[in-house]
Amino acid sequence: MRIDLISIFPDYFAPLELSLVGKAVSSGLVELGVHDLRTWTHDRHRTVDDTPYGGGAGMVMMPQPWGEALDELVPPEAQPTLILPTPSGQLFTQSLAAELAEQDWLLFGCGRYEGIDARVAEHAATRMRVIEVSLGDYVLNGGEVAALAIVEAVVRLLPGVLGNPESLAEESHGADLDGLLEYPMYTKPAQWRGLEVPPVLLSGHHEQVATWRAEQSRQRTAQRRPDLLQGPN
């Protein structure tokens, strides 16, 4: 998979050199490109923002550097998926992560200030798939943290990235658990500070363990995220 990230703060993406994503990059499973949006400015101050039409506080990212960045990075016949993180986008979910993990090329456009001029998404959609994605119902300062989260959630699903692919089974929000939350997990010791591991997990009865976990998963979801009981997103 190829992943390109465009931002005015390319240093934000240094953590992508670490851990499993870093290994996926160094082993060649993921080809990563980080681009400074200011490369496509032409004035002395390398300006990327201007005041909003219609008035109001804050600044808006100008379409010109974004347009030129996309022109240069995406050849005419290429078909990446352009992901624009924004609090007004569709909610990022595990099922969207799984769908993005099937793509050959993801390109991220990270907004700052009050966001990117809306014509950038509109124009890009005439020649590539564009999805505006929200990390959740809150506002961040920029799209970089959202892009990092999306990249991590997607890359860990790529074959060969996790040492043990079975780690992907029975995870919260996944199809194995019907989109519910994962059951509680425990490790050694069996007693710790007066707290015991539920005895069924020490019993060796696989069926009973599976039944207990399914029930815990359902109970935990009902308590914490009743909205998920409708099924996977």
Catalog residues that contact ligand SAM under the rule CB under 6 A. 85-88, 110-112, 114-115, 134-136, 138-143, 146
**CA–CA separation, 100 vs 10, rounded Å?**
22
Minimum separation from the CB atom of position 16 to ligand SAM (A): 17
Q: Does 53 appear as a known binding residue?
A: no
User: For residues 58 and 184, which CB has a smaller minimum distance to ligand SAM in the complex?
Assistant: 58
Q: Does 135 appear as a known binding residue?
A: yes
Q: Which residues lie across from 31 on neighbouring strands?
A: 2
Minimum separation from the CB atom of position 140 to ligand SAM (A): 4
**CA–CA separation, 50 vs 44, rounded Å?**
15
Q: Which residues lie across from 34 on neighbouring strands?
A: 5
* Residue whose Cβ sits closest to ligand SAM: 111
Q: Does 140 appear as a known binding residue?
A: yes
Minimum separation from the CB atom of position 49 to ligand SAM (A): 11
C-beta of residue 201 within 8 angstroms of C-beta of residue 186: yes
User: For residues 88 and 230, which CB has a smaller minimum distance to ligand SAM in the complex?
Assistant: 88
Residues shown for the chain: 233
Contacts of 14 (CB under 8 A, 6+ apart): none
Q: Helices in the chain by DSSP H: which ranges?
A: 19-26, 63-73, 94-100, 119-124, 143-155, 206-224
Minimum separation from the CB atom of position 195 to ligand SAM (A): 36
User: For residues 14 and 118, which CB has a smaller minimum distance to ligand SAM in the complex?
Assistant: 118
User: For residues 145 and 158, which CB has a smaller minimum distance to ligand SAM in the complex?
Assistant: 145
CA 166-172-175 angle, 5° bins: 70
Q: Does 158 appear as a known binding residue?
A: no
Binding-site annotation, residues for S-adenosyl-L-methionine: 111, 135-140
**Which residues belong to the annotated binding site?**
111, 135-140
